[in-house]
A and B are shown apart, each in its own frame.
Chain A
Amino acid sequence: MKQLNDTIKQVAAQSLSRGDVDLVIGWQKGDLWWQSYPAFVENEQDTASLTWDPFCVANLSRYLLEEQEGKNKVAIFVKGCDALGLNQLLQDKRVDREKVYLYGIPCDGLVDHRKLEAEGFKWLSEVRKEGKELVLVGRNGEQKVNARDYMYDKCLTCRYPNPVAYDQMLGEAVEAQPEERFASVKELEEMSADERFTYWANQFSRCIRCFACRNVCPACSCRECIFDIPEPRWLGKAKELSEDQFYHIIRAYHVAGRCVDCGECTRVCPVDLPLQELNRKFIKDINELYGEYDAGVDPETEAPLVTYNTNDPAAFPES
């Protein structure tokens, strides 16, 4: 990982100094050990601040929506999940592929600092990945733990760890080792309709309608979101179950067929709503109705919900 950390700085510096790109979007460290956040570098000398470490989880592809404007070319680092998001933005015609240079980073999983904190690992100065282990550097020295135990849930079910879109691949390809991603969905499907209603009503009661899930989502790129339209106001501002349901369920419908399962929605939710379960239900249904389809793998394939085939299943049952 140290090597990649250096490579990132090098390629970024090169592309800026050669004038190939006007901007490099990557990650940089904050003051706290787990803060690795999106960085926007326009000068060669600032590339020294770029980083690649176990906390570079933020999906950068969405920033192209804003940052493309007025620039000839933007370089961006994409992990497996980020590349899927980028492809979806291309498929939705929101990003111009000609104006983007992709540095692909194969990624076998990133660390959820909250999982470390839950086990009492706090006040650290550094966390490094060494093979399958994490080295935790704290006040009392170093300690090694199994990396996979502390990864984001979304990383454990990752099926595309190697970016499917890239101009230059940095680092060695990694092997996908995904756990079953529809396990929770299947549990929910076993519930009766009333039980499921209660389950989601309980979940949504925590929702504070911050819209972090929508704002981070690569499938949510409408120039004017329906939930922001003031006249007519489709989504009221009251904290009511009906409004919460309207927001989450309609958003799930709107991204159905375009959700790349990157899991950013679940990561950013401040009250830990299991949003990926909702989106994965749609993915599972689409797979069953229209055949296996992974959004974001290839921007040229025809997406099932915008394509008509004469042998599409009939919507209504026979009786």
Chain B
Amino acid sequence: MKKISKDKLPQLWDRLAQQATLYLPVEEDGVVNFAPWKEGAAVNLDVINTVVPPKQMVLPQSENYLHFRVDGGKLDLEPVDVDGPYVIFGARPCDVAAIAIIDKLFLDEPCDTLYKERREKGTIISLGCNEPEETCFCTAFELEPAFSPDADVSAWDMGEYLLWKAQGEKGEALTKKMEDLLEDAGADAEKAVESLRNNVASKEAAATKEYGWNAQGVKDALEDKFDSEIWDKLYRRCLGCGVCTYICPTCHCFDVQDFSRGQEGLRFRCWDSCMFGDFTLMAHGENPRPTQKERVRQRFMHKLLYYPSNFDVYACVGCGRCVRKCPVSIDITQVIKEVGGVK
């Protein structure tokens, strides 16, 4: 275990930024989002969640991937280079777990090679949480707020300094490069981390218990709820915007579109939302999800039934962003409660 005092962090970031694009939580106009490191950037490591999760580094809102040109009778296709290596510093364990969750889909056969290339160029340094937000419920999905097993490096905020632990090959390699900036953490560090992990996890578990629900068994409970009245009541206030899907760290639906100037253009992948009316609009004009009811139902079924049926893991990490940002307070914890998960 290593440690680095907080006043040395800008040096660390400078060093990281020399070999890769470094993304960390930066505050601008009162909003904290992951942004590339620049000297003097207003880094904010205290806010629990950025508004937009770091999934945007792994699956960008839009990415050009193919350049096409028609020349005479010939069609020229050229792949667009994927950006270079990057480091994500300060990703919360829920957000890292989310990336591991969508990895299961994108890296599964047939592999999404574009995603894979971009994913492999990234190194993730997670920062454990020291306390839960009111809207946090990662423990309900058996995740830990202060530990990320999937990160390349785990870090913890101990006040004056961060603790730093490499996990796996990428993490070891990165740690070696930062050797001179990191000190040995000493014998008590492991214990301190363990203690922190337990404290934060039990704080959060207690808070979520106050709401009287848990996520275990919700998948089974949903098996026969396709025609349930729950959806008839829930969908009515939904505005059909894309806030929940776009700020969700596990949502990953995308569209493929072209920028075209007639003879030449770029094909790109971009985020899409199952909440939008035209999401399943078919070329022949019919829509198998004709009203907001079908769309709202789809969102929760996907996260809590279909995805776990396919990949053995819920597509929700309890980060609470959707709960905070939904303009009409549609709340996944309420849905889970109503569906009636049973441990």
Contact = CB atoms under 8 A, between A and B. Distances in A.
Contacts of B240: 215
Among A38, A40, A210, A215, the most chain B Cβ lie within 10 Å of the Cβ of: A210
Nearest to A228: B278
Nearest to B244: A210
A35 interface: yes
Interface stretch (A94-102, A249-257, A264-272): A264-272
A206 B243 contact: no
A203 interface: yes
A40 B242 contact: no
A210 B325 CA distance: 12
A270 B237 contact: no
Given A123-B134, A239-B60, A210 B278 contact: no
A105 to B, nearest CB: 18
A209 B275 CA distance: 13
A206 B328 contact: no
Interface in B250-285: 255, 257, 259, 268, 270-273, 276-278, 281
Given A35-B331, A239-B270, A210 B237 contact: no
Interface stretch (A172-180, A230-238, A300-308): A230-238
B328 A58 contact: yes
A264 B330 CA distance: 17
A146 B333 CA distance: 32
Query: Chain A, interface size: which category?
Result: 35 or more
Size bracket of the B interface:
35 or more
Given A32-B134, A230-B278, A272 B242 contact: no
A206 B237 contact: no
Interface in B24-61: 28-31, 33, 51-52, 60-61
B231 interface: no
Given A35-B329, A271-B51, A212 B29 contact: no
A290 interface: no
Nearest to B255: A237
A37 B62 contact: no
Given A35-B329, A122-B134, A210-B241, A270 B51 contact: yes
Interface in A207-264: 208-212, 214-216, 228, 230, 233, 236-240, 264
A63 B236 contact: yes
B52 A38 contact: no
Given A40-B236, A212-B243, A270-B247, A31 B211 contact: yes
Given A38-B236, A208-B52, A239-B60, A268 B270 contact: no
Contacts of A317: none
A272 B31 contact: yes
Given A203-B29, A215-B241, A228 B277 contact: yes
A215 B239 contact: yes
Contacts of B207: 123
A70 interface: no
Q: Which of B134, B211, B327 has the most chain A CB within a 10 Å cutoff?
A: B327
A40 B292 CA distance: 15
Nearest to A264: B327
B329 A267 contact: no
B177 to A, nearest CB: 31
Given A32-B134, A40-B233, A238-B268, 15 more contacts: A30-B331, A30-B334, A37-B237, A63-B236, A206-B31, A208-B61, A208-B246, A209-B61, A210-B241, A228-B277, A239-B62, A268-B241, A270-B246, A271-B52, A272-B29
20 contacts: A31-B211, A31-B334, A32-B134, A37-B329, A37-B330, A40-B233, A206-B33, A208-B242, A212-B241, A212-B243, A215-B239, A215-B241, A216-B239, A216-B327, A236-B259, A237-B255, A239-B61, A271-B33, A271-B51, A272-B31
